Amino acid sequence: MAKKQIPLKVIPLGGLDGIGKNMTVFEYGNDMVLIDAGLMFPDDDQPGIDLVLPDYTYVLEHEDKLRGILVTHGHEDHTGALPYLLADLRRKVPIYASKLTLGIIEGKLSEHKINSPRFREVQNGTHLNLGSFSIDFFAVTHSIPGALGIYLRTPAGSVLHTCDFKLDQTPIDGITPNYQAISRFSTMGIDLLMSDSTNANLPGFTPSEAAVGPVLRHVIKNAPGRVFVACFSSHIHRLQQVCDAATAVGRKVVVTGRSMVTNTRVARELGYLHIDDKDIIDAYEVEEIPDDKIVVLCTGSQGEPMSALARMANGEHKSLQITPDDTVIISATPVPGNEKSVQGVINALSKIGCAIYDKNNAMVHVSGHGRQEELKLMIAMCKPHFFMPIHGEAVHLRAHAKLAEQMGIPKDHIFIANNGDTLQMIDGKVSWGTPVESGVVYVDGLNVTDADPVVLRDRQKLGEDGIVTCVVAISKRNRRAASVEMSARGVSYAQDDKLLSEAQDSVRTQVDRNLKSEGANMEQLRRSVRGGLSNFLWSKTHTRPMVIPVVMEV
C-alpha cells in the first residue's frame, strides 16, 4: 500500500480582503512557518476601533509546530500585529528579517513593553532550514529598504512569495531586485507563485522612486517660507530624498511626529538614512532659523487626526504652526478608506492659504508597488505552474488573476482565495484544502477583542441618531407609573420640552396599560418601554435613537 503523502498547506489568514493585515501560514507535517503579521487601520464603519488585526487563532492552536516568523519588510501592514501575536504565544519564536525591519520591529515591541524575542538577521542571499522548510531570501525593491522576497521548498513542492515589490531599475539605495536569484529559482522550479496585487488594475510601469527627487528639490528650492513634507515614516527612501533636497539648497531638517522621530532615528543608527547631525535640528530650535532655511518632515499623510500635520493644520501643534507663506507637500497616496480624512486636512490647509502639493498636481509621490507590466514580468521570470494573487482587495486580486491568464497560466491553475481558505500542495500540484477559522480581531483601547457586530452597530447608532434614556418608577402600592423621567443626548429635539413631555405621557400610558395585564414582569415592561418609545419618536421625528429603558419599583 502506497504511503500517504504529506501536503504543504498554504493558509492566508489576512491580506486578501483589503490593503493590510497580511499574514500567511505555511504548514508541512509537524513544521510551520509564518510570513508576515500585519495590521489594517479601521474604516468609517468601525467607530472607536484603533486597529484591525487578522484572527491568528490557527497559529496559536498549532504553536508547537511554529519554527519561525519570516517578515518581508518593515511596513505596518506586515509587522503591526507582531506585538499582539508575540504576547499571545507561550514560547519565544525566532523572527527572521532584514536589519532595518528588525530595528523597526524592536521599536514597536519596546512601545508594547514586550521583551525582544529571538531576532535573526537575514539579507539578500541568506539560506536557512527550518524543520522541513528550505528557505531562501532575495532582494526586491519597494518603498522601504531591506524588503525581501522568499522562496520556500518542501518535499511537497515549492512556493515563491514576492513580498510587496516593484521592478525599479534606479532605486535610491542602488539595490535592484535580485533577478539572478529569481531566474535560478525558476530553473529549480516554482510550483506556486504568490504575487503582490496592489496595483494590478493599473496599466504600464510604476515610475522609479528616483523620479520624485528632482520634483521635491524644485519645490523646496523655490518655496518662499518653510516646507512641510508629510509622508509615511517608514518610507526611508522618500525621507532620504527629502533630506538630500533640503541640504542641497541649504535648508535644515526638522523631524516631528512620534513614528517619524522613531523611524528616522532607527534608520540613521542602522545606516539606511544619511544626513549629518548639523543638518537635523529639534522642533524647538525652529524660531532661531529663517523660514526659508527650514524643511519639516512630519507624519499625517493619511489624514490621521492626531498626526503632526493634522495638528498643525488645526493650529494645535505645540511647537510648529503653518502660515500662508509656507508650502506643504503630501508625499503619499491615501490608503483606501482614508481619502475623506486626507481631504479634510487639505481643506484645513487651504483655509490657511499655504501652497499645497500632492500627487494630483506634481510628481511628489510614486507607488512602491508594481503595475501590470511589472507583474507580468514577474510571472514571466518565475514560470510558475500555479498562481495565487495576494495583497489586495477583490478587484486587485481578480485583475492580477486575469494577467496570469494572459501570461499562459491555465485558469484552473489560478487560485483566488479568501482569508481562511487553504491551498494544499502534493507533488507540486495545488488544490483547495479545508478552510480554517479566520476573521478579524479589533484593538479597542487596551482591549483586543473579537469582532462583535453588536458593539459596532451600537456605536454607529449612537453616532447617527443619539441616545434617549427613560427612567420609569412604578409604585408598589397601587401598581401604576409613579414617575417618568427622560433625558436625551445627540438628538436635535433634546431641548424640545413639548415633544419630551408627550413622549413621557406616551410611556406612562403604555406602562399603566401593561401593569393591568396579568403576569407583567420587569423585563417585559422594559421591552415595552423601549419599543413604544422608539415607535413614538419615529412617528414624530423620523429618527431612531438608541433607547435605554430603566424600570424600577418604589
CATH assignment of the domain containing 86: 3.60.15.10
> Quick one: pLDDT at residue 479?
77
* Same-domain pairing of 348 and 405: no
The answer for 15, left when phi > 0, alpha when psi is -120 to 50, beta otherwise, is left
Exposed/middle/buried for 412, CB within 10 Å: 0-12, 13-18, 19+? exposed
Does residue 3 fall inside a structural domain? no
* Same-domain pairing of 231 and 104: no
Domain count for the chain: 3
Does residue 24 fall inside a structural domain? yes
* Same-domain pairing of 92 and 196: yes
Q: Is the dihedral of CA 47, 49, 54, 58 positive or negative?
A: negative
* Same-domain pairing of 241 and 346: yes
* Same-domain pairing of 257 and 328: yes
Distance CA 552, CA 476 (A): 10
CATH assignment of the domain containing 502: 3.10.20.580
Does residue 153 fall inside a structural domain? yes
Could you give the C-alpha distances from 512 to 24, 274, 498, 552, in angstroms and in order?
A: 60, 78, 21, 14
* Same-domain pairing of 200 and 216: no
Burial state string for 324-347 with b = 16 or more CB within 10 A and e = fewer than 16: eebbbbbbbbbbebbeebbeebbe
Helix then strand then coil, in percent of the chain rounded to 5, is 35, 25, 40
Does residue 75 fall inside a structural domain? yes
Q: At which of 305, 323, 357 does a domain end?
A: 357
Q: List, as own/partner pairs, every contact residues 286-289 make where C-beta atoms lie below 8 angstroms and the sequence separation is at least 24, other chains included.
A: 286/226, 286/254, 286/319, 286/320, 289/252
Question: Do the Cβ atoms of 12 and 23 come closer than 8 Å?
Answer: yes
Distance CA 531, CA 157 (A): 60
Beta strands in 355-491 (DSSP E): 355-357, 386-390, 423-426, 429-432, 440-444, 447-450, 467-474, 481-489
Question: Do the Cβ atoms of 339 and 239 come closer than 8 Å?
Answer: no
The answer for 47, left when phi > 0, alpha when psi is -120 to 50, beta otherwise, is beta
Distance CA 466, CA 429 (A): 56
What is the three-class DSSP state of 121?
Answer: strand
> Quick one: pLDDT at residue 405?
98
Question: Do the Cβ atoms of 13 and 441 come closer than 8 Å?
Answer: no
Does residue 47 fall inside a structural domain? yes
What is the three-class DSSP state of 178?
Answer: coil
* Same-domain pairing of 352 and 467: no
> Quick one: pLDDT at residue 2?
45
What's the length of the chain? 554
Does residue 16 fall inside a structural domain? yes
Q: Show the CA angle centred on residue 299, arms to residues 293 and 302, nearest 5°.
A: 130
* Same-domain pairing of 245 and 329: yes
* Same-domain pairing of 117 and 43: yes
- What secondary structure letter does DSSP report for 292? G
> Quick one: pLDDT at residue 519?
62
The 10 Å Cβ neighbour count of residue 293 is 13
Does residue 1 fall inside a structural domain? no
* Same-domain pairing of 429 and 316: no
> Quick one: pLDDT at residue 440?
73
* Same-domain pairing of 432 and 535: no
The 10 Å Cβ neighbour count of residue 129 is 10
Q: At which of 441, 470, 495 does a domain end?
A: 441
Q: Show the CA angle centred on residue 339, arms to residues 336 and 342, nearest 5°.
A: 130
The 10 Å Cβ neighbour count of residue 485 is 13
The 10 Å Cβ neighbour count of residue 72 is 28
Spans of the chain, pLDDT less than 70:
1-3, 42-50, 116, 442-464, 518-520
> Quick one: pLDDT at residue 149?
98
Distance CA 549, CA 554 (A): 16
> Can you give the pTM of this predicted structure?
0.82
> What is the DSSP annotation of 72-97?
----HHHHTTHHHHHHH-SS---EEE
Q: At which of 322, 357, 392 does a domain end?
A: 357
Does residue 213 fall inside a structural domain? yes
> Quick one: pLDDT at residue 327?
97
Q: Would strands 31-35 and 23-28 be described as parallel, antiparallel, or unpaired?
A: antiparallel
Distance CA 472, CA 548 (A): 11
Distance CA 398, CA 404 (A): 10
- What secondary structure letter does DSSP report for 3? P
* Same-domain pairing of 323 and 231: yes
**Backbone φ and ψ of 282, nearest 5°:** -80, 150
Q: Can you tell me which residue has the cell 510614486?
A: 366
Domain, as residue range, for 278:
209-357
Closest by CA to 106, choosing from 117, 120, 93, 91, is 117
Exposed/middle/buried for 56, CB within 10 Å: 0-12, 13-18, 19+? buried
Beta strands in 184-243 (DSSP E): 192-196, 227-230
